[in-house]
Amino acid sequence: LNYRNTSFITSAPDIRHLPQDAGVEIAFAGRSNAGKSSALNRITDQKSLARTSKTPGRTQLINMFEVVSGCNLIDLPGYGFAQVPLEMKLKWQKSLGEYLQRRECLQGLVVLMDIRHPMKDLDQQMISWAIESRLPVLVLLTKADKLKSGARKAQVLKIRQMTAEFGGDVQVEAFSSLKGIGVDQVRRKLDEWYAP
């Protein structure tokens, strides 16, 4: 698919307010500051498809984009803000879990993690939920340009070993929006999920 034609469709305050469960959907998730907006912009070759500077702790919306008719990308709000009250965190986690488990048109989950600080609690939770729902997962270790090639490869191998223990279909790749590392692999994976 040509990801350069991706356009914004709508925002929803929560998962219940997303448009009807139709077409093929791929969701992007990650801790805030993991580099999700930069990755979406890079993959779609657009400067500001997903806004890259957001105020931590603010209520964020779920954004839906269309690659071509019937093929949608979902940008889930970043998780892991220290400032958010526990009650809100738990509520949001519950609805994320429900989304991953119940959204029929969801065909794959991309989880973005800073290559220097991967696999925090909620990252692991997201992967478990996806696997329970038999969803394939692509883990992107972002900001890969921050590590030298040897350390980068070691980190990719380490996370591949960790995720292998979850069972399920999990692929792990290094990614850098800045240097373009891994962009083609992501597009190939999305192509596969959109056209099984």
Least distance to ligand GDP, CB of residue 164, Å: 25
Identity of the residue, 33 or 124, whose beta carbon is nearer to ligand GDP in the bound complex: 33
Identity of the residue, 37 or 163, whose beta carbon is nearer to ligand GDP in the bound complex: 37
Least distance to ligand GDP, CB of residue 70, Å: 26
Identity of the residue, 8 or 68, whose beta carbon is nearer to ligand GDP in the bound complex: 8
User: Which pairs with CB-CB distance under 8 Å and at least 24 residues apart come from 169-174?
Assistant: 169/131, 169/135, 169/136, 169/137, 170/127, 170/131, 170/136, 170/137, 170/138, 170/139, 171/136, 171/137, 171/138, 171/139, 172/139, 172/141, 173/138, 173/139, 173/140, 173/141, 174/115, 174/140, 174/141, 174/144
Identity of the residue, 145 or 173, whose beta carbon is nearer to ligand GDP in the bound complex: 145
Binding stretches for ligand GDP (CB under 6 A): 30, 32-38, 52, 78, 142-143, 145-146, 176-178
Least distance to ligand GDP, CB of residue 195, Å: 27
Round to whole Å and give the CA distance between 153 and 132: 28
Round to whole Å and give the CA distance between 179 and 67: 23
Amino acid symbol at 32: S
Least distance to ligand GDP, CB of residue 6, Å: 16
Identity of the residue, 125 or 133, whose beta carbon is nearer to ligand GDP in the bound complex: 125
Selection from 142, 143, 140, 144 nearest residue 190 by Cα: 140
* Start-to-end CA span in the chain (Å): 13
* Angle value at C-alpha 140, between 135 and 146, nearest 5 degrees: 170
Identity of the residue, 78 or 108, whose beta carbon is nearer to ligand GDP in the bound complex: 78
Least distance to ligand GDP, CB of residue 39, Å: 7
Least distance to ligand GDP, CB of residue 33, Å: 5
